[in-house]
Amino acid sequence: MKPTRILFVCLGNICRSPTAEAVMRHLVKQRGLDDRIHVDSAGTGGWHAGNPPDARSASVGAKRGIPLSGKARQVTTEDFDDFDFIVAMDRTNRDDLRALAPSLAARNKIHLLRDFSPAGAKDADVPDPYYGGPQGFDQVFDICLQACDGLLASVIQSVPPRATVTP
């Protein structure tokens, strides 16, 4: 059975989307769903491609016991075929993804992360902490925890149950 695949997308793929990826991976593993839900991240821009997550984001993740890993990459049109959910961190990246989407079906896979927040922050951006102070990275982590929990609850409804083996 094919796993459900989620792609988180921000601008450069070094702060917000790797944070969301790490948080979601952690939540998925906690619930024992890592064989049925796969998570990745990318950026709409490619200037950080190959770089690790921003050290400030990685520090916040490490402090909270959720390590960030991977290397930045740019989103591709193939991602629309490979992923079931494409989750943008802000409206600008959502709009860029919509412009890149090769079909209406691909466009329908695009969501904003905060739309899944139980706090009701619909159509709201995850703020970019890159040029701000360290508190911005903590804020992004908190937003990702809350919204990823809501996203996972939504995704679980579409994840097929594990196949049972009968003797």
Between 82 and 1, the more confident residue is 82
SS (H, E, C) 131-159: CCCCHHHHHHHHHHHHHHHHHHHHHHCCC
Q: How far from each other are the two terminal CA atoms of the chain, in whole angstroms?
A: 20
| CB crowding 61-93: b at 16 or more within 10 Å, else e | beeeebebebebbbbeeebbeebbbbbbbbeeb
Q: What is the CA radius of gyration of the chain?
A: 15
pLDDT (0 to 100) of residue 114: 95
* Residue type present at position 159: V
pLDDT above 60 (res 165): no
pLDDT above 70 (res 167): no
**Is 40 known to be catalytic?**
no
Q: What is the mean predicted confidence (pLDDT) over 54-79?
A: 97
| Residue 88, strand partner residues | 9, 112
pTM of the model: 0.94
Tell me which of 79, 128, 144, 148 is the catalytic residue.
Answer: 128
**Is 10 known to be catalytic?**
yes
pLDDT (0 to 100) of residue 122: 79
Q: pLDDT-derived band of residue 162, with 50, 70 and 90 as boundaries?
A: low
Tell me which of 15, 16, 54, 148 is the catalytic residue.
Answer: 16
**Each residue of 22-31: pLDDT tens digit?**
999 999 999 9
Burial of 139 (0-12, 13-18, 19+ CB in 10 A): middle
Helix, strand, or coil here: 111?
strand
Tell me which of 10, 15, 144, 148 is the catalytic residue.
Answer: 10
**Is 142 known to be catalytic?**
no
Are the CB atoms for 4 and 85 separated by under 8 Å?
yes
**Each residue of 75-120: pLDDT tens digit?**
999 999 999 999 999 999 999 999 999 999 999 999 999 999 987 6
